[in-house]
Amino acid sequence: MIIAGNWKMYVGPDPAALAARLVGLEGVDAIVCPPFTGLAACVEAGLTTYAQNVHWAPEGPFTGEISAPMLLDLGVAGSLVGHSERRQHFGETNDGVARRAYAALESGLAVIACVGETQDERDAGDMESVLSLQVGPIRDACGAHERLVLAYEPVWAIGTGRTATPELAQRAHAFVKTLLDRPVLYGGSVKPENAAELLAQPDVDGALVGGASLEIEPFAAICTAAAPA
């Protein structure tokens, strides 16, 4: 099981205190994705640390971006790519997400590539076609790379308090795996109260946690729920 905490543009919890809280947790890969300003402190605390984004070029005139070699120099282990907020607010495209994923993997980083449909797309019955359009370029660029993980995050459940039912999550995850056979995390208002039921689904391989990762105890509770009995 993989539990990744995406701190978004928030400071997040104290890295050293979080690392101390997670000591002894077995059978779970706990990952934190802090803002760029928090990467070094999280690495120094001994947390498995991912960036929230990475560019496809190793260097160049790309103001506001960061490259895989720069992240590796900090001791960062991986990066998110294609989060719905990057797609929505910053115009990231399916092909651009695939380029970022490929470059990161080639450089030695691990990648969590995010996919998911909006409420309008779900209501129109387009979930599978949207996921195909999003996963296809990642599959074509990266294949079933051993350091690649996908995250299914229904956009309508992110930061809204709404969560896909376990049955809906299972259906979406199973479909994504027909497109690309890699682990798939569920993201979208994951909380201690619903984590165990979601994580019990056979094709749910972990969680990408947003708001609940900003405090130590809720995040630790989700990690505990993911641990083998």
Number of domains present in the structure of the chain? 1
Rounded-to-integer distance, Cα 66 and Cα 56, Å: 9
Categorize the per-residue pLDDT at 53 as very low, low, confident or very high, splitting at 50, 70 and 90: very high
Domain at 73, CATH number: 3.20.20.70
Global confidence as pTM: 0.95
Question: Residue 211 corresponds to which tokens in the numbers above?
Answer: 């708001």
Task: Look up the domain containing 191 and give its range.
Answer: 2-226
Rounded-to-integer distance, Cα 187 and Cα 176, Å: 14
Residue 133 CB neighbours (<10 A): 13
The residue behind tokens 């929505």 is 88
Mean pLDDT (the chain) is: 95
pLDDT tens for residues 112-167? 999 999 888 988 989 999 999 999 999 999 999 999 999 999 987 776 667 778 99
Categorize the per-residue pLDDT at 49 as very low, low, confident or very high, splitting at 50, 70 and 90: very high
Q: Report in angstroms the alpha-carbon separations of 38 from 18, 50, 204.
A: 13, 10, 29
Q: Where are the alpha helices (DSSP H) in the chain?
A: 15-22, 39-44, 68-74, 84-90, 94-107, 119-123, 127-142, 166-179, 192-199, 216-226
Give the per-residue pLDDT at 188. 86
* Cβ–Cβ < 8 Å for 82, 115: yes
Share of the chain above pLDDT 70, in %: 98
pLDDT tens for residues 177-203? 999 999 999 998 899 999 999 999 999
Question: Is residue 18 classed as helix, strand or coil in its secondary structure?
Answer: helix
Give the per-residue pLDDT at 108. 98
* Catalytic residue list: 83, 153
